[in-house]
Amino acid sequence: MEKAIQWSEEYPVDFVPLLNELTKQLPEKGYFYQMDYLDSSSLELIVQFESSSETAYYLKRLKESDLLEEVKLLTVETVPIDVAAEDSVPRYLAGYKLLIDRAALKAFKEEDSEE
């Protein structure tokens, strides 16, 4: 029984519902830049935004998600779009570390499949 519990805790999660939730929380012009699956319950996400305030907005929305136990904003970096242009508008890359609530994700997936 103990091995079965350990296996279920380490088994990779179904990312489709999680990705749908993460995408739904993005502002209109927010884009995933990079995603790193760290282990069975955490990932690091880099997102591109058009303004620095959107980084905080997304952090707030992620923290409100029932599918995540913990969310940390790791970095915010300003990246110019066109270095040669004087009036280039910068973009912002924000790094987040997400701790997935595996039980909530499983319940969400089951609830979603019933509908």
Burial profile 51-78: b = 16 or more Cβ within 10 angstroms, e = fewer: eeebbebbbebbeebebbeebeeeeeee
Q: From residue 3, give the alpha-carbon distance in Å to each of 9, 11, 25, 37, 73.
A: 10, 12, 36, 23, 34
What are residue 74's phi and psi, to 5 degrees? -90, -45
Homologous superfamily of 2-114 in CATH?
General secretion pathway protein M, EpsM (3.30.1360.100)
Q: Where are the domains of the chain?
A: 2-114
* Alpha-carbon span 8 to 5, nearest angstrom: 5
pLDDT of residue 66: 92
Given a cut of 50, the residues of the chain with pLDDT beneath it are: 4, 7
Whole-model pTM: value is 0.80
pLDDT of residue 4: 47
